[in-house]
């Protein structure tokens, strides 16, 4: 094809066919996806937004952003840095004197930068206090002091942090005087041109909005979620923002254009936009890409994809920006398994549209690996992982240990009722690196490299940390 419009037309047809086949084979009710490339964009929708009503998935159907919101929250933080209201190198407690953790002195060492680079160490990944309204984020921060500790000292390691983003949201409220939803609407939704975005179910119900689904444990058919969105306490981490593919394409294009929206509005300073895209911390392990501020920097050969995915109750979204090739890709599917389709679509765009060569990340199992350094029990907030050696592989058993009835109720609804899973075997594939048994090696070449598990910081012949999905758990 000689012109980009024709190339994108072909891409749109391919996405439509691929989405239809995947939805049919994997019982995904619906998918909506969009691509912007070099001045043109397409949006493709397929299937059903809600099986209870039969409402179709349309190109303008809204959906929960999930953790894609973290890049929006980080953008808000950098805006306040541009305006002189925040200093990335200042302690969080300078702005939030009440900020504390159960680990003595840990909170005092956390800087603003650590919140948005996932290097804060706050052990609160499953902390779900149930509060709504104007004081929800204050309630969250107040609750940390009596409920959550630290996985590591701030700045020493990287662990994907819902808690850090929520504290950042409260920080924004304090320095601007605005509730987080109002600030997001004023300083991101408005200037970016995200005209169909909101943060409440009351607003979302006024337009076409998708709901999540989970596979029925008996029939495996998709059934609608019993909880549309998480409490307001999780807003800055992704619990409440809702919008469309067109909205996320506009946001991605803003970061492609050095902080200028498609309508020409300056949203973020060029230096701050660039800072978000630079490496802030690198774990130097294949399963955890380097982290910027808000963005995760996925290497696909020599090409870097700035990305963030987001889980919502029964749904999953993704936003990817490829600065080297002037491309934005975003998608939503209304079952958790749709992330596999998103990964396939992303790799197809890189290979077929952009000509990017994607090297194999894992090619063969490792032999004669001593498994004893990894055996033991690892813990993070309300989660225990028991690791044993069985037949030359690691076997992991995860146990959810709820802190109270309220958090158990919320997490159970978020997970679709299933808070336990059968043991998972892992095959050694490199030093301290393991792949889930039974998966084809090519599974891990793209976004799903997060399925790999790594172990770190050996002391006295034993690993101190387990990393799965970018999240650390510490040896008990």
Helix (H, G, I), strand (E, B) or coil at 251: helix
Q: Is residue 448 part of a domain?
A: yes
User: Residue 471: phi, psi to the nearest 5?
Assistant: -110, 135
Q: Is residue 230 part of a domain?
A: no
Q: Is the pLDDT of residue 1 over 50?
A: no
Q: How far is Cα 372 from Cα 386, in angstroms, rounded to an integer? A: 13
* Crossing angle of helices 270-277 and 245-256, rounded to 10°: 100
Q: Is the pLDDT of residue 6 over 80?
A: no
Predicted confidence band of residue 5 (pLDDT cuts 50, 70, 90): low
For the chain, what is the domain count?
Answer: 1
At 243 the pLDDT is 98
pLDDT one-digit tens code per residue, 50-65? 999 999 999 999 999 9
Q: What is the mean pLDDT of residues 237-246?
A: 97
User: Residue 465: phi, psi to the nearest 5?
Assistant: -130, 145
Instruction: Read off the pTM.
Output: 0.96
Q: What is the mean pLDDT of residues 411-418?
A: 92
366 class by beta-carbon count within 10 Å (0-12 exposed, 13-18 middle, 19+ buried): middle
At 7 the pLDDT is 85
Q: How far is Cα 472 from Cα 125, in angstroms, rounded to an integer? A: 10
253 CB-side CA count, 13 A: 23
**3 versus 282: which is more confidently predicted?**
282
Q: Quote the tokens at residue 455.
A: 């172990």
Q: Is residue 452 part of a domain?
A: yes
Q: What's the whole-number average pLDDT of the chain?
A: 96
Q: With contact defined as beta carbons under 8 Å apart, do 41 and 34 qualify? A: yes
CA dihedral sign of residues 275, 281, 284, 289: negative
Q: Is residue 284 part of a domain?
A: no
At 421 the pLDDT is 85
Q: Which helix (H) or strand (E) holds 331?
A: strand 327-333
Give percent of the chain above pLDDT 70: 99
Helix (H, G, I), strand (E, B) or coil at 134: coil
Q: How far is Cα 341 from Cα 46, in angstroms, rounded to an integer? A: 13
108-117, 316-325, 455-464: which has the minimum mean pLDDT? Answer: 455-464
Cα 298 to the center of its chain, rounded Å: 13
At 2 the pLDDT is 42
Q: Which residues pair with 222 in a beta bridge?
A: 215
At 285 the pLDDT is 95
Q: Which helix (H) or strand (E) holds 95?
A: helix 92-95
pLDDT one-digit tens code per residue, 141-178? 999 999 999 999 999 999 999 999 999 999 999 999 99
Q: Is residue 21 part of a domain?
A: no
Q: How far is Cα 318 from Cα 331, in angstroms, rounded to an integer? A: 5
Predicted confidence band of residue 9 (pLDDT cuts 50, 70, 90): confident
Q: Is residue 133 part of a domain?
A: no
Q: What is the mean pLDDT of residues 259-271?
A: 98
CA-based nearest residue to 233, from 126, 154, 109: 126
Q: Quote the tokens at residue 313.
A: 């109750």
Q: Is residue 376 part of a domain?
A: yes
**87 versus 420: which is more confidently predicted?**
87
How many angstroms separate the first and last alpha carbons of the chain? 57
Tell me the Ramachandran region of residue 273: left when phi exceeds 0, alpha when psi lies from -120 to 50, beta otherwise.
alpha
For 395, the domain range is 372-475
Q: Is residue 429 part of a domain?
A: yes
Length of the chain: 476
At 149 the pLDDT is 97
Predicted confidence band of residue 425 (pLDDT cuts 50, 70, 90): very high
Q: Quote the tokens at residue 461.
A: 């012949």
Q: With contact defined as beta carbons under 8 Å apart, do 154 and 121 qualify? A: yes
Residues 6+ apart with CB under 8 A from 97: none
**In sequence order, what E strands does 82-231 have?**
213-215, 222-224
Q: Is the pLDDT of residue 467 over 90?
A: yes
Q: Which residues pair with 391 in a beta bridge?
A: none
Q: How far is Cα 111 from Cα 89, in angstroms, rounded to an integer? A: 6
Q: Is the pLDDT of residue 388 over 50?
A: yes
Q: Which residues pair with 395 in a beta bridge?
A: 388, 425
Q: How far is Cα 382 from Cα 164, in angstroms, rounded to an integer? A: 17
Q: How many CB atoms lie within 10 A of CB 414?
A: 22
Q: Which residue bears the tokens 């964009």? A: 41
Q: What is the mean pLDDT of residues 317-325?
A: 98
Predicted confidence band of residue 45 (pLDDT cuts 50, 70, 90): very high
Q: With contact defined as beta carbons under 8 Å apart, do 159 and 118 qualify? A: yes
């Amino acid at each position: 094809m000689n012109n980009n419009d024709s190339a994108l037309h072909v891409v749109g047809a391919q996405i439509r066919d691929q989405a239809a086949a995947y939805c049919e084979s994997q019982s995904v009710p619906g998918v909506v996806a969009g691509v912007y490339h070099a001045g043109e964009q397409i949006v493709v929708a397929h299937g059903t937004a809600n099986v209870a009503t039969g409402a179709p998935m349309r190109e303008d159907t809204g959906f929960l952003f999930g953790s894609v919101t973290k890049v929006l929250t980080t953008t808000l933080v950098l805006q306040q840095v541009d305006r002189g209201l925040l200093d990335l190198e200042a302690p969080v407690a300078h702005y939030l004197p009440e900020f504390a953790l159960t680990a003595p002195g840990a909170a005092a060492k956390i800087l603003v930068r650590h919140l948005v680079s996932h290097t804060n160490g706050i052990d609160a990944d499953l902390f779900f206090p149930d509060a709504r309204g104007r004081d929800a984020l204050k309630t969250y921060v107040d609750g940390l002091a009596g409920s959550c500790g630290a996985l590591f000292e701030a700045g020493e390691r990287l662990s994907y942090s819902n808690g850090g983003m929520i504290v950042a949201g409260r920080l924004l409220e304090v320095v601007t005087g605005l509730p987080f939803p109002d600030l997001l609407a004023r300083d991101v939704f408005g200037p970016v041109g995200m005209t169909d975005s909101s943060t409440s179910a009351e607003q979302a119900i006024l337009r076409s909005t998708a709901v999540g689904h989970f596979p029925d444990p008996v029939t495996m058919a998709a059934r609608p979620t019993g909880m549309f969105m998480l409490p307001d306490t999780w807003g800055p981490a992704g619990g409440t923002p809702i919008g469309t593919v067109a909205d996320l394409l506009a946001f991605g294009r803003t970061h492609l254009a050095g902080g200028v929206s498609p309508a020409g509005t300056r949203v973020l300073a060029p230096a701050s936009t660039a800072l978000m895209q630079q490496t802030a911390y690198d774990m130097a392990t294949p399963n955890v890409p380097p982290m910027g501020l808000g963005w995760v920097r996925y290497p696909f050969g020599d090409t870097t994809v700035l990305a963030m995915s987001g889980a919502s109750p029964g749904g999953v979204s993704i936003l990817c920006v490829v600065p080297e090739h002037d491309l934005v890709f975003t998608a939503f599917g209304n079952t958790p398994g749709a992330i596999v389709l998103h990964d396939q679509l992303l790799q197809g765009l890189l290979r077929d549209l952009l000509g990017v060569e994607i090297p194999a990340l894992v090619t063969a199992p490792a032999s004669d690996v001593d498994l004893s350094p990894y055996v033991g029990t690892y813990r993070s907030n309300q989660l225990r992982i028991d690791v044993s050696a069985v037949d030359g592989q690691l076997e992991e058993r995860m146990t959810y240990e709820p802190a109270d009835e309220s958090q158990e109720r919320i997490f159970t609804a978020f997970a679709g009722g299933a808070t336990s899973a059968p043991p998972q075997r892992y095959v050694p594939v490199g030093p301290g690196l393991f792949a889930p048994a039974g998966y084809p090696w090519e599974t891990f070449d793209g976004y799903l490299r997060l399925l790999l598990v790594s172990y770190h910081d050996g002391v006295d012949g034993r690993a101190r940390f387990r990393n799965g999905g970018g999240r650390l758990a510490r040896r008990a």
